[in-house]
Amino acid sequence: MRVILASASQRRKQILEDLNYQVIVSPLNDVDESSNKNEVSQQVLEICQKKATAVQISSESPVIVSDTMLEDPDDESIALGKPHDSIQAAMMLHKLSGRRHRVWTATGLYTNQDWKFFLESSIVEVHPLTDQVLVDLVLSESWKGKAGGYDLAGPMANHAELVDGSESTVLGIASAALTELASLTNH
């Protein structure tokens, strides 16, 4: 089955391809990813909904939009977004080192001329990172485009573990959205 992914995320594309969907990537441009909400869960949902309104629907294939944010382990009302450079990535990884944090993903699924939204969280524990591991993670550039500065399915896999929830939620698609998508064709 064809699925349109309104995202440039290679990780989201891989999740869908691993489930044997034919993925058509159609990234969004110029979406306002700011939010005035107080809770990270509501911020991520609002941004996902903004992305949905920016999608140009031109096919009967299901469309997926998604947004992922991490809660700051020091203040759950603050979101750790994507680092803009290697210094910011190092600071985020240092903050997460040896600690647990919550990852929120909101996913919108467009089918039958309507959007349905899914909001989920998972808990990830990052092992204490030595200075060398921290340097290696930053130099790997696996932090680029990743909320919190890491990719659980990339180099960070050796230094973190999923404690609660779904790996797909951490990687960028709410698991309930995948279940809903599968139910459309008994996939």
Q: What is the pLDDT of residue 15?
A: 96
Q: Which of 164, 101, 160 is CA-nearest to residue 126?
A: 160
Residue 186 has pLDDT above 70, yes or no: no
Q: Is the model's pTM score more than 0.85?
A: yes
Token pair of 15 as six digits: 């999740």
Residue-level pLDDT at 57: 82
CA-derived radius of gyration, the chain: 16
Nearest-angstrom CA–CA distance, 186 and 131: 47
pLDDT, residue 44, reads: 95
What is the residue type of 125? E
Percent of the chain with pLDDT over 70: 99
Rounded CA separation 79/73 (Å): 9
- The closest of 106, 40, 45, 42 to 76, measured between CA atoms, is 40
* Rounded (10°) CA dihedral 133, 137, 140, 144: -170
